[in-house]
Amino acid sequence: MRNKLLLGIPISVFAALLLGFCGFSYIVRPNALAAFTFIPAWIWSVVGILSSLFVVLVSKKAMLCLVLGWLSFTAIFTEEPKSLVRGLFNSNSGWIAIAPERRLIVASLNCAAGRIAPVREMLPYHPDIIFLQETPTHLDDLQKVANEFYGDKAFVLKGNDTTIITRFESVKLDEVKLEPSVERYLVHARLKTDSGYMVHVISTRLLPPVIDVDLLSADCWRAHYRDRISRLEQVIKIAAVVATIPKSEAVIVGGDFNVTANDGCLRPLRDRLRDSFREGGIGWGHTATNEVPLFRVDQVWTSKELKPIAITAIRTLNSDHRMVLCKLAIR
């Protein structure tokens, strides 16, 4: 009995303290704790639930309370259980029921250091709008692929690191002047859909992430803090661009954010947009890396004028990221 207590009490304290710390960290998401919340919440859920099971050595009631606490944390802060269950009951009937002129298929993919081959992988999915990051360098190559997709109707807007390709007509933007620093990581177009509805589309790639997960190192915490602040500055500027768009017109922001969708740096986007996967995600939505997808860094954010129907992550052959395929309905 004594041995059980010697083992069970420290584990009980650990599981309880970890639950409290995780709850605070993922609710508040302070910049100082960016290193901790960089790790997906579902990983902490697994650690917490497994730890809680050992609390039975001390008290069955305490174990039950902790397990229920961790299950609540999982339900609130993780998306994987919901999307996996949603995938079990997914049906194409809802998509088919939507009038064709109100359907939008958006695809987003990181092209792995400017390769053109990943772009061609998107063709079988018949996207209306394509967002590319780490975009191929040569406009002629992009135009050629765009013509394979859409013929003479193809529209290509290439930036420094991102590109938009679409079959829709591009309509001149109102006077929106982007800072040179912003132009380095996004492109912005205004499109007229088949129904005549105006949709603003922004393809973006934010700065590469800090991968360090050595939480016992002060350098790790400092690096993640600096990374959060730098990326937050980029997101604030994207949100400022979105704020210039008339409320009567829809907005889609997609691309490689290099952080998960719940990261604290993305909060400025929530004034106008929401992460489409949270509402319509199906299956295992993580996109990085292609072979071992543990992080959902490739995302599509939409305004309320668009309803997410089905968002999936699709394994690729020529990229180190999975492709995001997003089916939307114009409300």
Is residue 187 within 8 Å of residue 133, measured between CB atoms?
A: no
pTM: 0.92
pLDDT in tens, 17-73: 999 999 999 999 999 999 999 998 999 999 999 999 887 777 888 889 999 999 999
Confidence band for 7, pLDDT divided at 50, 70 and 90: low
The single-letter DSSP state of residue 172 is P
Sign, CA dihedral 74-75-80-85, equals positive
- Structural domains of the chain sorted by starting position, each given as residue range(s) with its CATH number in brackets: 2-78 (no CATH), 86-330 (3.60.10.10)
Confidence band for 323, pLDDT divided at 50, 70 and 90: very high
Opening angle at CA 114, ends 227 and 310, nearest 5: 75
Confidence band for 173, pLDDT divided at 50, 70 and 90: confident
pLDDT in tens, 116-139: 999 999 999 999 999 999 999 999
Distance CA 123, CA 211 (A): 32
Q: H-type helices in the chain, by residue range?
A: 2-28, 34-37, 41-53, 60-77, 80-88, 93-96, 117-120, 139-150, 180-183, 218-243, 276-280
Least confident range from 3-7, 8-12, 42-46, 95-99: namely: 3-7
What count of residues does the chain have? 331
